[in-house]
Amino acid sequence: MRFLIPLVGKTREPYLNAGIRDYANRLSHFVPVALPVLRERHGRREPDEAIKAAEAAPLLEQAAAAGLCVALDPGGMSPDSHELAGLLTQWEERGIGTVCFLIGGHLGLHRSVLARANVVMSLSRLTFTHEMTRLILLEQLYRACTIKAGQKYHK
């Protein structure tokens, strides 16, 4: 199994970028991780829905080759770390080669992305920036992989 996490726009904050690189590197000891950077839309004069729709197209293109698509959205299911590890195990046992995790830009995901997703998941009921969400997702995926491997990181 491999993880594909397309990023809408560059990570601007150096501390977040360092954390993202660190957890992507740690996670790569368990599964290959790809973090392609996609163009972010900042059209202040465009309606929010138009911006989200424009950002949806490259996200959906990235997701097209994945065996499973997980959209991150506040309205999704909220697994704890052990439940996430269980989901990863189930997906692996089903033979899913690539799991694509989709994080929206600063406005979130367009409804077309949510409709395409096999799973809609929330990391928290709290609101995070899309750049923080990247780091939190990678840390939680790393934590879930250590749980699966029986390592002590998650304790």
pLDDT in tens, 2-14: 999 999 999 999 9
pTM, rounded to two decimals: 0.95
CB 75 within 8 A of CB 45: no
pLDDT tier, 43 (very low <50, low <70, confident <90, very high otherwise): low
| DSSP H or E segment with residue 60 | helix 48-63
56/97 Cα distance (integer angstroms): 23
pLDDT tier, 154 (very low <50, low <70, confident <90, very high otherwise): low
**Centroid of chain to Cα 42:** 21
Cα–Cα–Cα angle for 71, 75, 79, rounded to 5 degrees:
75
74 secondary structure, DSSP code: E
Q: What percent of the chain has pLDDT over 70?
A: 97
> pLDDT, tens digit, for every residue of 71-124?
999 999 999 999 999 999 999 999 999 999 999 999 999 999 999 999 999 999
